[in-house]
Amino acid sequence: MNKFRRSSAVWQSRPSALWHVRRLPPALSGISRTLALALLAVSCAGESNGGPNALRIPLINDPILNPVIAPDIGSVLINKVIFSALVRPDENLRPVPDLATSWVTSEDGLQYTFNLKPGVRWHDGEPFTAADVKFTFDQIVDVKSGTRLRSDFAAIDGVDVIDSLTVRFRLKKPFAPFLALLGYNAGIIPAHKFRDLKLTDATEFNRSAPVGTGPFRVVQAASGSAIVLERNPQYHGNAPALDQVIFRIVPDVNAQVAQLLAGELDIVPIEPANLPSVERAAGVTVVRNPIVQHVYVGFNQMRPLFKPALVRHALDYAVNRQAIIDGVLKGAADLPRGTIPMVLTDFFDASLPAPTFNPESARTLLANAGWRSGNDRKLRNAAGKPFAFTLLVDKGNPTREQAALAVQQDLRQVGMDASIETLEFATLVRDRVLPGDYDAVLIWWTTPPDPDQYAYYASGQDNNHVRYVNARADSLLAAGRATLDSVQRRDLYNQFQRVEMTDPPVLVLFYPRELLAVNRRVDGLPALGLRDALRHAERLSVKR
Amino acid sequence: MTAFLLRRAAHALTVIFVVCTVTFVLVHLAPGGPAVLADPKLSSEEQAAIEERLGLDRPVVMQYGLWMARVARGDLGESFLYEVPNRRAIGERLPNTALLAGTALALSVLLGIPLGLWSAFKRGGWVDRVVSGLAFVAMAVPTFWLAIGAIFVFAIAIPVFPAGGASAAGEAGGLIDRLRHLVMPAIVLAAVTTAELLRYMRSSAQTALHQPFVRVVRGKGVQERIVAWRHVLRTALIPVITALGIQLPRLIGGAAITETVFAWPGLGRLGVQAALGRDYPLVMAITLFVSAAVVIVNLLMDLLYLWIDPRIRLEA
**CA of B166, closest CA in chain A: separation in Å?**
7
Q: Identify the residue with better confidence: B173 or A346.
A: A346
Look at residue A317 in the predicted model and tell me its pLDDT: 95
B83 contacts B198 by C-beta, under 8 angstroms? no
**CA of A317, closest CA in chain B: separation in Å?**
27
The radius of gyration of chain B's CA atoms, rounded to the nearest angstrom, is: 24
As to burial, measured by CB atoms within 10 angstroms (0-12 exposed, 13-18 middle, 19+ buried), residue B47 is middle
**B266, A224: Cβ pair inside 8 Å?**
yes
DSSP annotation of A68:
T
Q: Check pLDDT > 50 for residue A42.
A: no
pLDDT band at residue A38 using 50, 70 and 90 as cut-offs: very low
- The span from the CA of A12 to the CA of A202, in Å, is 42
**B38, A45: Cβ pair inside 8 Å?**
no
Low-confidence ranges of chain B (pLDDT < 50): 316
Q: Which residues contact A142 (CB under 8 A, 6 or more apart)?
A: A150
DSSP calls for B200-249: HHHHHHHHHHTSHHHHHHHHTT--HHHIIIIIIHHHHHHHHHHHHHHHHH
Q: Give residue A324's identity as a one-letter amino acid code.
A: I
Give the burial string for A181-220 (b: 16+ CB within 10 Å, else e): bbbbbbbbbbbebbeeeebbebbebbbbbbbbbbbbbbee
Comparing C-alpha atoms, which of A413, A405, A407 is closest to residue A359? A413
Comparing C-alpha atoms, which of A299, A302, A329, A331 is closest to residue A315? A299
Q: Check pLDDT > 80 for residue A16.
A: no
Look at residue A239 in the predicted model and tell me its pLDDT: 95
Q: Which of A104-118, A204-218, B301-315 has the lowest mean pLDDT?
A: B301-315
- The span from the CA of A369 to the CA of A375, in Å, is 19
Contacts 24+ apart (CB under 8 A), A125-130: A125/A234, A126/A190, A126/A192, A126/A211, A128/A99, A128/A188, A128/A190, A128/A213, A129/A161, A129/A164, A129/A165, A130/A161, A130/A162, A130/A163, A130/A164, A130/A165, A130/A166, A130/A167
Which of B83, B156, B263 comes nearest A250 by C-beta? B263
Q: Check pLDDT > 60 for residue A43.
A: no
**B277, A252: Cβ pair inside 8 Å?**
no
- B41, closest residue in chain A (CA to CA): A463
Per residue in A397-413, pLDDT (tens digit) is: 999 999 999 999 999 99
A298 contacts A506 by C-beta, under 8 angstroms? yes
**B170, A251: Cβ pair inside 8 Å?**
no
| Average pLDDT value over all residues in chain A | 89
**A225, B169: Cβ pair inside 8 Å?**
yes
Report the DSSP pairing between strands A100-105 and A111-116.
antiparallel
**B273, A61: Cβ pair inside 8 Å?**
yes
Q: Check pLDDT > 50 for residue A34.
A: no
- The span from the CA of A251 to the CA of A274, in Å, is 16
Comparing C-alpha atoms, which of B290, B296, B302, B266 is closest to residue B19? B290
**Helix H or strand E encompassing A11:** none
pLDDT band at residue A154 using 50, 70 and 90 as cut-offs: very high
A181 neighbourhood in chain B, CB within 8 Å: none
Give the burial string for A381-416 (b: 16+ CB within 10 Å, else e): eeeeeebebebbbbeebebbbbbbbbbbebbeebbb
Which of A244, A251, A261 comes nearest B263 by C-beta? A251
**CA of B273, closest CA in chain A: separation in Å?**
8
Report the DSSP pairing between strands A388-394 and A417-423.
parallel
Model-level ipTM above the cut of 0.90: no
Per residue in B202-249, pLDDT (tens digit) is: 999 888 888 888 888 888 888 888 888 888 888 888 888 888 887 877
Helices B280-308 and B86-121, axial angle in degrees (round to 10): 40
CA A146-B64-A64 angle, 5° bins = 25
**CA of B116, closest CA in chain A: separation in Å?**
23
Q: Identify the residue with better confidence: B312 or A499.
A: A499
Comparing C-alpha atoms, which of B103, B90, B102, B84 is closest to residue B267? B90
- The span from the CA of A282 to the CA of A19, in Å, is 7
Q: Which residues contact B262 (CB under 8 A, 6 or more apart)?
A: A255, B147, B151, B163, B164, B165, B184, B185, B188
Look at residue A35 in the predicted model and tell me its pLDDT: 39
B33 contacts B300 by C-beta, under 8 angstroms? no
Q: Give residue A401's identity as a one-letter amino acid code.
A: E
B276 neighbourhood in chain A, CB within 8 Å: 424
Comparing C-alpha atoms, which of B245, B238, B258 is closest to residue B293? B245
- The span from the CA of B79 to the CA of A307, in Å, is 42
B84 neighbourhood in chain A, CB within 8 Å: 203, 206-207
**CA of B76, closest CA in chain A: separation in Å?**
15
Look at residue A46 in the predicted model and tell me its pLDDT: 37
Per residue in A300-336, pLDDT (tens digit) is: 999 999 999 999 999 999 999 999 999 999 999 999 9
| HSE-up (13 A, CA, CB side) for residue A271 | 15
pLDDT band at residue A15 using 50, 70 and 90 as cut-offs: very low
**B46, A143: Cβ pair inside 8 Å?**
yes
- A61, closest residue in chain B (CA to CA): B273
A254 contacts B257 by C-beta, under 8 angstroms? no
Q: Which residues contact A412 (CB under 8 A, 6 or more apart)?
A: A418
B301 contacts B245 by C-beta, under 8 angstroms? yes
C-alpha distance from residue A539 to each of A60, A116, A240, B160 (Å): 24, 22, 6, 32
B195 contacts B135 by C-beta, under 8 angstroms? yes
Q: Check pLDDT > 80 for residue A25.
A: no
Helix, strand, or coil here: B132?
Answer: helix
- The conformational region for residue A244 under phi > 0 = left, psi -120 to 50 = alpha, else beta, is beta
- The span from the CA of A391 to the CA of A72, in Å, is 26
Task: State mean pLDDT over A14-38.
Answer: 37
- The span from the CA of A541 to the CA of B12, in Å, is 56
Helices B233-253 and B280-308, axial angle in degrees (round to 10): 170
Distance of CA A530 to the CA centre of its chain: 9
Look at residue B313 in the predicted model and tell me its pLDDT: 67
- The span from the CA of A143 to the CA of B52, in Å, is 11
**Helix H or strand E encompassing A527:** none
